[in-house]
Amino acid sequence: MKGYWRWIMAVFFLTLPALVGAQVPVKVGFVDVQRILVQTKRGQEARVKMQAEVSQKQKEISAQEEEVRKMETDLRKQATILSEAARREREETVQRRKRDLVRTVEDFNRELAKREQELLSDFLKEISVIVQEFGAEKGFTLILERQQGGILYANEGIDITKEIMERFDKRRELTGEGKR
């Protein structure tokens, strides 16, 4: 994604002299995608939904951790009265439960990262369409992304994030797109 924005900036700056020489008005804007993801209704709804799922899974994992701790405590208490074979069997059971717990946590973390990436990708695709439509409609020559576009300074007058945020939330309301 970074390379894409840098490529667009390079093309812009290489063609800028020709545009200026031809007296074509240059209209530039920028969008803060991170702000859109954090401040729009849809972004907030997605975050709340994800947090609820994480919270539920964390409760399940905590219950499993507690079960393993209890098994270890019971094993320590009974170690002196258990036969060697029974003690070894319980130790293996505890170790198996620990491995299962580690696998559960790793699987959950992978699945969470995958779902976050899919959601982000879907949002970015839709934001890109909205920005392109907005840019064409309003006659922009170039619209950059604030974070990835390498913008060190920009006059807030060219920030079109608010308009894009409004269209992003309104798009779902009008078309039903983006509902999950």
Looking up residue 7, the CATH number of its domain turns out to be 3.30.910.20
Distances from the Cα of 150 to the Cα of 8, 22, 132, 159, 166, angstroms: 11, 27, 19, 15, 24
Q: Tell me the pLDDT band of 155, cut-offs 50, 70 and 90.
A: confident
Domain count, the chain: 1
Smallest Cα–Cα separation from 129: which of 98, 68, 172?
A: 172
- What is the rounded radius of gyration, in angstroms, for the C-alpha atoms of the chain? 27
Q: Residue 180 domain-assigned?
A: no
Assigned domain for 30 exists: yes
Q: Is residue 85 part of a domain?
A: yes
Distances from the Cα of 154 to the Cα of 44, 115, 161, 173, angstroms: 27, 33, 13, 31
Q: Is 10 within the bounds of a domain?
A: yes
Q: Check: CB of residue 154 under 8 Å from CB of residue 146.
A: yes
pTM over 0.75: no
Tell me which residue range forms the domain holding 140: 2-175
Section 152-166 average pLDDT? 85
Inform me whether the pLDDT recorded for 25 exceeds 90. no
Q: Give which of 49, 92, 43, 52 is closest to 72, Cα–Cα.
A: 92
Q: What is the pLDDT of residue 1?
A: 55
Report the distance separating Cα 180 and Cα 177, nearest Å: 9
Residue 2: its H or E element: helix 2-21
CA dist 13 to 5, 8, 34, Å? 12, 9, 25
Residue 155 lies in a domain: yes
Residues 180 and 178: their CA atoms lie apart, in Å, by: 6
126 falls within a domain: yes
Question: Cα(37)–Cα(46) distance, rounded to whole angstroms?
Answer: 9
Look at residue 26 and tell me whether its pLDDT is greater than 90. Answer: no
Query: Is position 112 within any domain?
Result: yes
Query: Rounded to an integer, what distance in angstroms lies between the CA atom of residue 119 and that of residue 128?
Result: 14
Please write the tens of the pLDDT for every residue from 97-139.
Answer: 999 999 999 999 999 999 999 998 999 999 999 999 999 999 8
SS3 label, residue 141: coil
Q: Over the chain, what is the mean pLDDT?
A: 84
Instruction: Determine, yes or no, domain membership for 65.
Output: yes
